[in-house]
Structure 1
Amino acid sequence: MTQLAQMQCEPCKAGGPQMSESEIRDLITELPDWNVDTVDGEQCLSRTVKFKDFAGALAFTQQVGELAEKANHHPVLTTEWGKVTVYWWTHKTGGLHRNDFVMAAKTDRLLE
């Protein structure tokens, strides 16, 4: 994870190539708390993080939002009482890109 968390997002082009299944399998091993899911037919990374209360969940949501703004790469965030679910995928490619793994690793860093 350390290596991914230190990387920066690279610009993506619309319709660019998606990651292969073997690339995804290799990188997901570095993110043990994340899942590869499919939402509306597109692969994404997802993780649900639990908190003691709504305030903790809301503070984490804000941190992820600030991280996303800096990288210009934005997730879907679902904030509920005591938990936040984060979904990363690259809309321009219609699936997963290395950037999503980078941002997932950076998200994990927020929890350290």
Structure 2
Amino acid sequence: MPQISAGEDKASIESQLETLRQNGWEISGKGGLQKTFYFKTYTKVADFHHVIATRCKSENHHPTMTTRAGSIDVHWITHSPPGLSHKDPKMAMYCDEQARHIGTTEPSQARKCGP
């Protein structure tokens, strides 16, 4: 199990992590939550990025996002106190919800750069 931030409800977070793992989230080498979302168009990737960024503003919690033509990597971790806090699984679930609304695709169907 990854490190849980000090002062957090460890059992609650671990339960949420189990659900997230079933939905494709992984624990990164840095102990955070990470997942790649695939979309058929760059516009959908940009829409997803924007929706997540907008919610981050109201939650005051921000991921690392790497955007490509047909996919986006999202990585959640709390920096202070270090580890996973209740915000990380909450925002990961929000990402899954928004990806369903926008419409993800299989990696082989995602937009690619080049020929």
1:26 equivalent to 2:11? Answer no
Task: Say how many residue pairs are matched.
Answer: 94
Whether the 8 Å contact between 1:65 and 1:74 is mirrored in structure 2 is: yes
Q: Could you say which structure has the larger radius of gyration?
A: 2
Q: 1:38 to 1:23 in 2, by over 3 A?
A: farther
**What is the SS of the residue equivalent to 2:34?**
strand
Cα distance in 2 for partners of 1:23, 1:78 equals 28
Taking structure 1 as the reference length, what is the TM-score of the superposition?
Answer: 0.73
Taking structure 2 as the reference length, what is the TM-score of the superposition?
Answer: 0.71
What is aligned with 1:81? 69
Aligned Cα RMSD in Å? 2.1
| Long gaps (5+) in structure 2 | 101-115
Deviations 1:20-74 (A, max 9, x none): 98665422122122111123xxx10001000112221111111110011111111
Whether the 8 Å contact between 1:18 and 1:95 is mirrored in structure 2 is: no
| Long gaps (5+) in structure 1 | 1-15
Structure showing the higher helix proportion among its residues? 2
Q: Percent identity?
A: 27
